[in-house]
Each structure stands twice: as structure tokens, then as C-alpha cells.
Amino acid sequence: MGALTLSKVTKSFGKTEVIKGIDLHVAEGEFCVFVGPSGCGKSTLLRMIAGLEDVSAGSVTLDGRDITNEAPAQREIAMVFQTYALYPHLTVRDNMSLALKQAGESRARIDQATARAASMLALEPYLDRRPAELSGGQRQRVAIGRAIVRTPKLFLFDEPLSNLDAALRVATRIEIARLHRELGATMVYVTHDQVEAMTLADKIVVLRAGVVEQVGSPMELYNNPANTFVAGFIGSPQMNFLKSAALDGRGETTGIRPEHLELSREGGRIAGTVSHVEKLGGETLVYVRTELHGLLTVRLFGEHDYAVGEPVHLTPDAARAFHFGPDGQRLR
């Protein structure tokens, strides 16, 4: 249940085409994450799947059924928003059960579904509270609970964690991953956050300006980016881009991740000066200013005492380098 197919899906606002003919298949039970820079169309695409936005051309099918023109309520899809969208005057219990009540489900069925969702999300102590009496993390769990009780074929999440603080984001992220395992449901998730995309996704879809740049598992995208855009987008801190002419001359640009640049005080391929150091506890990021390649980032394991202004050398691990042509496409 919950196989989703987009065929040549296009969206225009007036004369501006913001989604440009997207083809995508999300398999039953898959966790699919849309990433891409601000304004690339992630939310618009998700809203079209939900039926909250008309599709200008193309089709959306769910388990083989064409839902392109169906009303949102008919689609058997539940959406969780960044802003929770809870009813302030209703208790947690009533917020979670409202959709089932409106669908005319029996009292017994409603109670059972609400109890199950409350238990999965550890919300039992809060069932009689109203949203204003909950923390942000608890409110988002209620919003997720409201989606679960409906047992939809497909869950959609639009940046559900972005209003939470760092610790709660991690906890809720782990909770969403656990829910996905327990429910075995198909989920499509929009985020800006690298770590969320890498840790939650079976499949990441990288979007740019309404077009799919690459689709693959997190490690496929990390190890095998198709172009400089995907290479720069997946991985944090960002991949370094060096001028190939000054290295081995393969292609136009050489990509090397911060963890694959060796830093030394005595000798190496590229000379530079330490411009900034960030000690993160378990790792240290050293930013090195170079004449030919600009500012490069090095990631070191553990704590290091490089000082700003210190002359250093860098050596790329040639076996881990990526080569790109003048058009930004990867050379194989």
C-alpha cells in the first residue's frame, strides 16, 4: 500500500513554471526525502501530492489509482506541517480523533486508534490537555498522531522539525524513523536539513529550480554525485571544489570532501594559511585560505591546535577525489 508515481508533473503560477515535468516513483513502504535550496519547489511538489495545490500538467497516482484531480480528503494521504496546525480549542484526544469522527467511525474504533497512536508517541499523559499547554515537541507529536490514527496509505511531512530546538529535533527525528519502521508506511518528507535527509531517507530526491538533479540512496548520492550541484549539496561541511588545472588536470573541477584533505605543517600539495578553526569536540574544522583554490575546509578527527595565521599544507586523497567537466557533470 502507498506506492506513489508522479508522471511529468508540472506546476505554473501564472506564467512562471516552478515544477518542470517531474517523473518519480516512490515504492510501497519507502521513506523518500525531497531536498534542495530554498524556492526549488519542494513544498509545492508535496502540496500537489496532498491535493492542496492543483497540478498544471501531468498525473499523480497512488497504488495505481489516478488521484490528480481528487479532493485532498479522498486521497487517503495524511500531511504533517511545520506549524502543527492543531485546533487550539480541542484537547489532544479530540485533535487526534477528529478526522475519524468526521468520517463517521464508531466510538470503539476511534478510541482504539487514538490509544494506539498515543501509546506509540508517548502522549498518554497529555490526552486531556489543549495545545497551548504543550511544548513544541509535544505539539508536533500530536500532529503526527493525528496523521497516524487515519491509517493513511501515504504520509507527507513538510519540514516537521524546523520549529523545534536542536535536542528535540534529534529526539523527534529518531521517533519518526522508529514510526516508519513500526508502521511500514510510505512517507515523503521535505527538509532543508542534511542530517535529516541522510538519516531518515531510503531515497533522496535532490531538486533544483523545479527539476530533479539526482535520485538515490543517501550513500549513493554521497559516494556517487552526478554533478557539482549534488556533490556540493550532499555532505556537511560542503565538498571543496579545486581547480583541476593546478592538480592532475583531469576535467575542470576536482571535488574533495573535507574529511579527505590531509593537513600538515611540513610539506604537501597545496600551500595555504589557516584562516579560522572550529573545535566541535569530537572533530575540528580547519579553514585554510589558498591562493589558487580559495578557502578550503578540512575536517580532522579529535582536537587540534592549529592557530589562525599559521602556514600549512594540504594534500587531497587522490583516490577519493571526484572529477567534473566544464558543464559541472561528473567525469567517470
Ligand X SMILES: Nc1ncnc2c1ncn2[C@@H]1O[C@H](COP(=O)(O)OP(=O)(O)OP(=O)(O)O)[C@@H](O)[C@H]1O
Residue count, binding to ligand X (CB under 6 A) = 11
User: Which residue, among 28, 45, 27, has the nearest Cα to 36 in the 3D structure?
Assistant: 45
**331 contacts 249 by C-beta, under 8 angstroms:** no
Report if residue 82 touches ligand X, rule: CB under 6 A.
Answer: no
User: Which residue, among 18, 25, 16, 20, has the nearest Cα to 8 in the 3D structure?
Assistant: 20
Segment lying near ligand X (by CB under 6 A), choices 36-44, 92-100, 109-117, 211-219:
36-44
- Minimum CB separation from ligand X for residue 130, in Å? 29
Q: Between residues 19 and 185, which has the closer beta carbon with respect to ligand X? A: 19
Report if residue 224 touches ligand X, rule: CB under 6 A.
Answer: no
Q: Between residues 206 and 256, which has the closer beta carbon with respect to ligand X? A: 206
- Minimum CB separation from ligand X for residue 11, in Å? 8
Report if residue 39 touches ligand X, rule: CB under 6 A.
Answer: yes
**194 contacts 25 by C-beta, under 8 angstroms:** no
CB atoms within 10 A of CB 127: 18
State which of residues 6, 22, 26, 40 lies at the interface with ligand X (CB under 6 A): 40
The number of angstroms, rounded, from the C-alpha of 35 to the middle of its chain's C-alpha atoms is 5
Q: How far apart are CA 57 and CA 48, in angstroms?
A: 11
Strands 283-290 and 322-324: unpaired
Report if residue 87 touches ligand X, rule: CB under 6 A.
Answer: no
**Window 157-216: residues binding ligand X (CB under 6 A):** 192
Segment lying near ligand X (by CB under 6 A), choices 34-42, 67-75, 295-303, 317-325:
34-42
CB atoms within 10 A of CB 302: 9
What grid cell was written down for 79? 500531511
Contacts of 245 (CB under 8 A, 6+ apart): none
Q: Between residues 34 and 126, which has the closer beta carbon with respect to ligand X? A: 34
Report if residue 42 touches ligand X, rule: CB under 6 A.
Answer: yes
**Window 3-22: residues binding ligand X (CB under 6 A):** 13, 18
Residue 302 pairs in a beta bridge with none
- Minimum CB separation from ligand X for residue 177, in Å? 22
Q: Between residues 18 and 271, which has the closer beta carbon with respect to ligand X? A: 18
Report if residue 43 touches ligand X, rule: CB under 6 A.
Answer: yes
CB atoms within 10 A of CB 188: 26
Q: What does the binding site for ligand X look like in residue numbers (CB under 6 A)?
A: 13, 18, 36, 38-44, 192
